[in-house]
Amino acid sequence: MISENFSKIAAVAIFLTCFPVAAQVDLSGYWANRPHEDNMARGPGLESGEYEGYPLNAAGRLKGYSWDAAIYSNTERQCVPLSIMTANSGFRIGKEVEPISQEEMAWHLRIDYEGQERVIWMDGRPHPPPEAPHTTQGFSTGVWKNNQLVVTTTHLKMNMIERNGLPRSDRATTTEFFLRRDNIITVVYVTNDPVFLEEPMIQTRDFVLDIYARVAPSVCVPVDEIANRPKGYVPHYLYGKNPLLLQATTKYNVPPEAVGGGAETMYPEFATRLKNKQVGKRLPADLSKPPGPAPAVPAPAPQDPNQVNISTFPVQGSVYMLSGVGNTLVQIAENGIYVIDSQPAPLSNKLLAAIRQISNKPIRYILNTNADPRSMGGNEALSKAGSSLGSTGGGGPQFAGNSGADRGTRTPAPIFAHEKVLLRVSAPTGSTAAMPTAAWPAETFAGKEYRLFNGEPVIILHQPNAHTDGDTLVYFQSSNVIAAGEVFSTVTYPVIDRQRGGSIGGTISALNNLIDLCTPKHTQEAGTYVIPGRGRISDVGDIVEYRDMVTIIRDRIADAVKRGLTLEQTKGENLTYDYDLRYGAPTDYWTRDQFIEAVYQDLKGGAK
């Protein structure tokens, strides 16, 4: 009996030795890139506009066709790293284990290209919420399935699939399969992108174990390569104006019908149809303009402030982002709390409760970045819940905690903004004001900037004629966080309120100023974080993407005005097509057509 059991155990042991079970495969080591399989694509990159075999939709193709390689002469683009699939460089991978149980906690990758660091978490932690910052490498979690490491990545930045402008949006997610066979690792990448791809895209990369390799340090310092360019210049091609789209045909005889890519070009049947001349006319010249209105983007469900909950996100330093209908920035310091933008009035109680979850210190200032009721509707309630550093009692002005609650009368926290915000929400005597008096800014400034202090310098910078004529950026210098208000959004096209002094030129100028204020930690990300009026926590790379988008669309509409097109004709040209799936969802306060009209009327000098 004992002999029989021993034989069974021995058989199992031999089986396990021959076939490693889940989590027994060791991926540690340096893995060198093997680009020989497709050296052009995996090295310098394909020709401009060469997209055969990629499942691009029309929006992705148009965005790729508008890309100009000269953009890498811009300083803010020179140190932007490539994504997890595109870098095609070697990497070092090592395992982090829990000291007692020795269970896998994470795999750490150091990627040669641009010195990127990547973590694949194995401890079951959830992915961050949508409002969290995005990075080039994204947020990755892994599980073992048999002897394959399966990795899911979210929170990726906008980037390129290939080095020729072929785009991937920041709403893409990837699934990777790491399979080691002896001294070879094959990685299969599956990318899903609802903005730029028709179907999931599958790529493979092979790497070979190199026991002698060392990962070199990586330092990138941007330099001005071309002098005297105007600030914020964005190289790009207008629709139908890219002269390079047939390079692959001219140099390598790639059939012109295939160059534009699309899901159909991924499959062998397409080659057969090409050979039999069964592919209809789909030349780059024909694909260089929108095929029609972009697919309708569903409007988000109306946000009833009474049904909205407030989510709290630590940013960095002493700053938090409170997200509801829009975003509120809260800064906590020794003397109390500064609140930047107060969201619609019905959210006041929830916003105050969320602030109290962070700190019980008194609210000392409410700062408004603009004059929208969506941004300042809660002013009155938050002001009354706070107390001024100048609260007065029987003995005159008191300091810090000596509020009227214990000495005399408590003075509500002051509301602060640029003076043009006050002019927009107030009204002449006898007229009806846009907001009740208690919600007006009682303290204002009229110059280019104003400085406060709350445990760190707080710099308030006026951005004239951007979203409105009273917009400001609020920069918490030590925390290295900026509240951008309605100057910047990650979810909509810019809201340009021409009735209240907004303009496309002022909007682009404000975005350029915002870029100038940001200092990245490394490779154009992290460092300075920016809180948009709506959307997720961002950094300088996100602002650059948004500025480029706004500038490109401005240039397209300017070209339409130059050609003498009417407003309706301009709308009919679908000049925002490649961005509509990303920013074009209509809201209760702004639509794509309103954005186009505002830019058109501004450039044409039409009435406000």
Judge whether 319 and 479 are in contact, CB under 8 Å: yes
In this predicted structure, what is the pLDDT of residue 279?
83
In this predicted structure, what is the pLDDT of residue 9?
36
CATH among 3.40.1000, 2.40.128, 2.40.50, 1.20.1630 for 29-44+70-209: 2.40.128
| DSSP E strand stretches across 317-418 | 319-323, 327-333, 336-340, 363-367, 392-393, 396-397, 415-418
Which two structure tokens, joined as six digits, stand for 103? Answer: 């269970």
Q: What is the DSSP string of 261-322?
A: --GGGGSHHHHHHHHTT-S----HHHHSS-SSSPPPPPPPPP--GGGPPPEEEEEETTEEEE
Judged against a pLDDT cut of 70, whether residue 3 lies above it is answered with no
**Lowest-confidence region among 145-149, 319-323, 519-523, 600-604:** 519-523
Q: What is the DSSP string of 34-56?
A: -GGGGHHHHTT-PPTT--TTS-B
pLDDT in tens, 394-409: 333 333 333 444 444 6
In this predicted structure, what is the pLDDT of residue 16?
38
Share of the chain above pLDDT 90, in %: 69
Centroid of chain to Cα 516 = 17
Pairing of strands 336-340, 363-367: parallel
Average pLDDT over residues 185-211: 94
**Lowest-confidence region among 390-394, 472-476, 530-534:** 390-394
Residue of 442, 439, 445, 440 lying closest to 458 (CA atoms) = 445
Judged against a pLDDT cut of 60, whether residue 316 lies above it is answered with yes
The amino acid that residue 450 corresponds to is Y
Task: For the chain, give the longest Cα–Cα distance.
Answer: 104
Question: What is the architecture, at CATH level 2, of domain 306-604?
Answer: 4-Layer Sandwich (3.60)
Q: Of 293 and 441, which is predicted with more confidence?
A: 441
In this predicted structure, what is the pLDDT of residue 86?
60
Kindly list the domain boundaries of the chain, sorted by start residue: 29-44+70-209, 306-604
Average pLDDT over residues 202-218: 86
In this predicted structure, what is the pLDDT of residue 519?
93
Which two structure tokens, joined as six digits, stand for 231? Answer: 């600030």
DSSP label at residue 390: T
Confidence of residue 300 (pLDDT cuts 50, 70, 90): confident
Judged against a pLDDT cut of 60, whether residue 6 lies above it is answered with no
How many CB atoms sit inside 10 A of residue 436's CB?
11
In this predicted structure, what is the pLDDT of residue 152?
97
pLDDT in tens, 75-94: 888 888 877 666 567 899 99
pLDDT in tens, 441-481: 999 999 999 999 999 999 999 999 999 999 999 999 999 99
In this predicted structure, what is the pLDDT of residue 4?
44
Centroid of chain to Cα 501 = 27
Which two structure tokens, joined as six digits, stand for 110? Answer: 């150091």
Average pLDDT over residues 416-423: 96
Judged against a pLDDT cut of 50, whether residue 57 lies above it is answered with yes
Judged against a pLDDT cut of 70, whether residue 220 lies above it is answered with yes
pLDDT in tens, 539-595: 999 999 999 999 999 999 999 999 999 999 999 999 999 999 999 999 888 999 999
The amino acid that residue 235 corresponds to is P
Q: What is the rounded distance in angstroms from the CA atom of residue 390 to the CA atom of residue 414?
A: 10
Confidence of residue 13 (pLDDT cuts 50, 70, 90): very low
Judge whether 489 and 584 are in contact, CB under 8 Å: no
Average pLDDT over residues 477-501: 96
Q: What is the rounded distance in angstroms from the CA atom of residue 454 to the CA atom of residue 59?
A: 46
Which two structure tokens, joined as six digits, stand for 385? Answer: 């819940």
Confidence of residue 292 (pLDDT cuts 50, 70, 90): confident
